């Protein structure tokens, strides 16, 4: 075993990250990214499988004789956003950019793979999972459906996301629900349109649609328990009318968030009742299409504490804290946690960082070494070497 030059590793990760940033790829299109990841893992001496769930990559590193295994995960995909930064490594793909920091997540997990391959310090197997298509909630499912757990079994799993607004080197997580489920809905109102001058001769849907938007807000304020957390947001109204013609069809689209399957089911049931009742009051019909895109991300309490203990050895106890409240955004990592216990954590990206999904967002390269060190620390703490007595 040799000790890795961390200054050199930081420089390498920065180079890798900026290359990924320059060449962003949307979900299930991460062919170049996946090839570079696989090539580097092989160069580190790992066993590598490609094409897992489409464009996913899994690297395997085994040391010692233990049959225990853990997984470390990074997401690789970019967003359909036009970059507005002026950095020299800005996206070279028009309309696509790494606006969520997945370029940094990928680089720091590669750094951890290099550290662990060179230094060891654990007994068992580490799986390095590079996941496609996190942003639209399909990549984890694709890998699971492609036999991830059967082909590359592991006992627990950990993932990292950067967090704008926190100083670099700050570590946050919490046990239990940490990120919300995301459901999407589309309500179609159908009547019969007509001339704008004679609404009495139509069953137009625009007034019904406006009333329905307001009525949907009563789900959270009046239908859910005050102790439950839920959000219902209408984001679009699309109608087939024109300036002087009343529409006969309107589509109301939106997004709902929750932290338990029970609340999600309650939102759907109340939405169906309210849509039907409102439509009936205005003499039109309603059809609801309700879909569950992301499930809630729920951290295991014991492994959350293990993650915080490992992080304290890297960052110092003063940089470690519990999140006060769960985050209402959603994360595809939840699909792994539905099968295997684990913990999802957040590392600061700087107080001045632009928000995630902002066209001027950029991952803070200073945080790369922190992420690589955390991945390494959790692997060593969960797969400890056992001293052999004389």
Distance CA 315, CA 370 (A): 8
The answer, as to whether pTM is greater than 0.85, is yes
Distance CA 361, CA 214 (A): 34
Task: Look at the chain and count its residues.
Answer: 390
For residue 389, pLDDT over 90 is answered with no
User: Could you write out the three-class secondary structure of 307-369?
Assistant: HHHHHHHHHCHHHEEECCCCECCCCCCHHHHCCCCEEEEEEECCCCCCCCCCCCCCCCHHHHH
Asked if 293 contacts 184 with a C-beta cutoff of 8 angstroms, the reply is: yes
- The radius of gyration of the chain's CA atoms, rounded to the nearest angstrom, is 24
Residue-range domain boundaries for the chain: 6-179+296-382, 181-294
CATH architecture of 181-294: 2-Layer Sandwich (3.30)
Q: Report, as an integer, the average pLDDT of 103-119.
A: 98
Looking at 3.30.360.10, 3.40.50.1370, 3.40.630.10, 3.30.40.10, the CATH number of the domain 6-179+296-382 comes to 3.40.630.10
Asked if 346 contacts 163 with a C-beta cutoff of 8 angstroms, the reply is: yes
Mean pLDDT of the chain: 96
Tens-digit pLDDT profile for residues 28-85: 999 999 999 999 999 999 999 999 999 999 999 999 999 999 999 999 999 999 999 9
Q: How many other CB atoms are found less than 10 A from the CB of residue 73?
A: 25
Cβ contacts of 119 within 8 Å, gap of 6 or more: 1, 2, 3, 4, 376
For residue 105, pLDDT over 60 is answered with yes
Q: Which of 329, 298, 310, 322 is nearest to 379 (CA)?
A: 310
Q: Is 121 helix (H, G, I), strand (E, B) or coil?
A: coil
To 5 degrees, how large is the angle CA 87–CA 89–CA 95? 90
- Percent of the chain whose predicted confidence (pLDDT) is above 70: 99
Two structure tokens written together for 376: 């390494």
Tens-digit pLDDT profile for residues 202-233: 999 999 999 999 999 999 999 999 999 999 99
- How does residue 390 score in pLDDT terms, banded at 50, 70 and 90? very low
Q: Is 322 helix (H, G, I), strand (E, B) or coil?
A: strand
| Torsional class of 95: left (φ above 0), alpha (ψ -120 to 50), beta (otherwise) | left
Tens-digit pLDDT profile for residues 285-343: 999 999 999 999 999 999 999 999 999 999 999 999 999 999 999 999 999 999 999 99
Q: What pLDDT was estimated at residue 1?
A: 55
DSSP 8-state class, residue 200? G
Describe the crossing of helices 102-119 and 6-22 by its angle, rounded to 10 degrees.
150
């Amino acid at each position: 075993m040799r000790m890795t030059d961390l200054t050199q590793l930081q420089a390498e990760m920065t180079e890798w990250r900026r290359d990924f940033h320059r060449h962003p790829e949307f979900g299930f299109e991460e062919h170049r990214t996946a090839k570079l990841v696989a090539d580097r893992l092989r160069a580190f001496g790992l066993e590598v499988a490609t094409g897992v769930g489409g464009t996913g990559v899994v690297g395997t590193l085994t040391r010692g004789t233990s049959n225990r295994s853990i997984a470390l995960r990074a997401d690789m995909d970019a967003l359909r956003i036009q970059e507005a930064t002026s950095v020299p490594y800005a996206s070279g793909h028009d309309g696509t950019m790494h606006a969520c920091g997945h370029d940094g997540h990928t680089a720091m997990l590669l750094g951890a793979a290099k550290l662990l391959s060179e230094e060891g310090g654990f007994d068992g197997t580490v799986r390095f999972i590079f996941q496609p298509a996190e942003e639209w909630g399909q990549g984890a499912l694709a890998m699971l459906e492609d036999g991830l757990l059967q082909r590359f079994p592991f006992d627990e799993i950990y993932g990292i996301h950067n967090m704008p607004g926190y100083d670099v080197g700050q570590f946050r997580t919490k046990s239990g629900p940490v990120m919300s489920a995301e459901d999407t809905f589309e309500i179609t109102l159908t009547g019969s349109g007509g001339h704008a001058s004679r609404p009495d001769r139509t069953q137009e849907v625009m007034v019904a649609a406006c009333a329905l938007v307001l009525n949907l807000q009563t789900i959270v304020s009046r239908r859910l328990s005050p102790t439950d957390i839920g959000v219902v947001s209408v984001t679009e109204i699309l109608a087939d009318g024109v300036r002087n013609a009343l529409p006969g069809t309107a589509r109301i689209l939106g997004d709902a968030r929750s932290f338990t399957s029970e609340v999600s089911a309650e939102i759907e049931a109340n939405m169906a009742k309210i849509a039907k009742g409102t439509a009936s009051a205005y003499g039109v019909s309603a059809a609801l299409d309700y879909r569950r895109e992301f499930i809630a991300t729920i951290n295991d309490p014991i492994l959350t504490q293990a993650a915080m203990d490992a992080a304290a050895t890297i960052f110092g106890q003063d940089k470690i804290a519990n999140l006060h409240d769960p985050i209402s955004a959603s994360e595809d990592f939840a699909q792994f946690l539905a099968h295997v216990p684990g913990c999802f954590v957040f590392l600061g990206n700087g107080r001045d960082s632009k928000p995630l999904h902002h066209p001027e967002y950029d991952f803070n390269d200073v945080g790369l070494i922190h992420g690589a060190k955390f991945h390494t620390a959790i692997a060593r703490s969960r797969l400890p070497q056992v001293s052999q007595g004389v």
